[in-house]
Homo-oligomer: A and B are copies of this chain.
Amino acid sequence: MSEFAKLWAEIAPIGRAGSGGYLRFALTEPELTLRDWFRAQAALRDMTVTDDGNGNLFAWRGEPWAPGTVLTGSHFDSVPHGGGYDGPLGIVSAFLAVDRVPRDRRIGIAAFVEEEGGRFGVPCLGSRLLTGVIDPDRAAALTDRDGISFGAALGARPAGARKEIGQIAAVVELHIEQGRALETPVGVASAIWPHGRWRMDFTGIGDHAGTTRMTDRHDPMLTFAHTVLTADQEARLAGAHATMGRVQVEPNATNAIPSLVRGWLDARAADTATLDRLVGSVVEKATERAARDGTTLAMTAESVSGEVAFDTALAERLSALLKDAPILPTGAGHDAGVLSAHVPTAMLFVRNPTGVSHSPAEHASDDDCEAGIEALATVLEELT
C-alpha cells in the first residue's frame, strides 16, 4: 500500500453517507473529527498548530506566519453527498509532501473553513475572513438550514483580517481537477472563471391544487421552471455555465399551489462581461415570465467573484519545474482564488479521469495522487 493510500484510508470513513458521498459540513461532527486528525498529523511532524480566530486551522513547520513561509493545504468540508477528494486531497498531499522536503523549510498547511459554502451559503468563507474581504459581523450572522449562525458554530465572533497573510511568500493549493480537461497526472492553474451565486425568490399565492382554476393561479413554480430552462439556454448560447441545482418550496405539498419557490442560480463564464450579460439576460426573462404568471421575483447576490488570474510568472515557473505540466483554467472557485489578491498564488491540479466532482463518483487514481504529492514536494522545496 502506498503512503498516500495508507493516509487516505485513515480519513475515508469520516462523514461518509449511505450514498457513498460525504456529509462533511463545516464545524459539524465529521469535519471536527477531521480537524482532530489534522492536529494529530501535525503533532507527528512536530508542527505547531494555530487557529486564526476565523475557523481556519494551520500547521506550521517553523514559526507561525514566519516571513517567507509557503502556505499550502485546502479544506475538509464537502458539498452534500460530494466526493472525498475535493478539499481533503490537498491537505493529505500537503502532509506527505512536507515529509519529502528538508526540515529547515518554512511551510504552513491550512485547513480552511466553509470553502464550499455548503452550510452557511458563502463559499471560501474562511479565506474571505482571513483576507478581510467579508465583514466579520456579516459572516457571524450567516445561518445554516437549521438557523444556527456561523458565529454560534464557531463559538465566537470571527477575528477577521490577519495582516500576517502579507508575510507569506506564496500560496500553492493542490486540488483534484473538476473537469476532464487535464490529460496528464498533474497540471497548473492559469485562472478561475468569474462566478457567483444568486438567490431567486419567486413569490406567488398559495392555494388549493384541486379547486383553483388555472386562470386564477399565481403559481411561482411555473416562473421557477421557466427560469431553470432559460438559464440553461442562455449559458449554452454564451459558452458559459449556469445551473439551478437547489430549490426550496413553501409549503411543498402535493395538493397545494406553492406560495414561494426559492431557487439558486450558479453562473460562471470565462470573463466578467459574459457573466454579467448571462445573469442579466436570465433575470430579464425571469421577470417577464413572472409578469405573465402573476408572481414576483426578488434577486439576492449571495456571493459574486470576479475573474482570478493566478500569478502568471509563478504558474510558468511551476509548469517548467514539473516537466512542462499543462496550464489550464477552471470554472470552480477555490480559497487560492481569494488569497491570490493578497499573495502570489498558484494551484496544482490532479487529473480527474471522468471529470465528475461534487458527486460520490468523483475519483482520482492513487498513482495520480502520488504524482501530485511528488509535484507539490518539488514546488515547496523550490519556493522555500
User: Judging by beta carbons under 8 Å apart, are B205 and A255 in contact?
Assistant: no
Q: Is A9 an interface residue (CB 8 A)?
A: no
User: Judging by beta carbons under 8 Å apart, are A241 and B228 in contact?
Assistant: no
| Complex partner residue of A80 from B116, B117, B221, B252, CB under 8 angstroms | B252
Q: Which residues of B contact A252 (CB under 8 A)?
A: 80, 245-247
Closest residue of B by beta carbon distance from A244: B221
For A212-247 the 0/1 string (1 means CB < 8 A from B) is 111110010110111011001001100001011111
Given contacts A81-B250, A225-B229, contact A210 B333 (CB under 8 A): yes
User: Judging by beta carbons under 8 Å apart, are A356 and B254 in contact?
Assistant: no
Q: Is A268 an interface residue (CB 8 A)?
A: yes
User: Judging by beta carbons under 8 Å apart, are B251 and A208 in contact?
Assistant: no
Q: Is A133 an interface residue (CB 8 A)?
A: no
| Complex partner residue of A361 from B206, B222, B243, B360, CB under 8 angstroms | B206
Given contacts A206-B361, A211-B179, A358-B206, contact A245 B256 (CB under 8 A): yes
User: Judging by beta carbons under 8 Å apart, are B210 and A332 in contact?
Assistant: yes
Q: Which residues of B contact A177 (CB under 8 A)?
A: 211
Give CA–CA (A235, B252) in the complex, Å: 20
For A100-123 the 0/1 string (1 means CB < 8 A from B) is 000000000000000011100101
Stretch among A44-52, A258-266, A318-326 lining the B interface: A258-266
Give CA–CA (A210, B332) in the complex, Å: 5
Q: Is A312 an interface residue (CB 8 A)?
A: no
User: Judging by beta carbons under 8 Å apart, are B232 and A222 in contact?
Assistant: yes
A81-B259, A179-B208 known, 8 other contacts, Cβ within 8 Å: A195-B210, A209-B268, A210-B333, A211-B241, A214-B241, A216-B355, A219-B245, A245-B254
Listed by A's residue number, 7 A-B pairs whose Cβ atoms lie within 8 Å are A179-B213, A205-B359, A207-B355, A208-B359, A210-B332, A214-B232, A219-B245
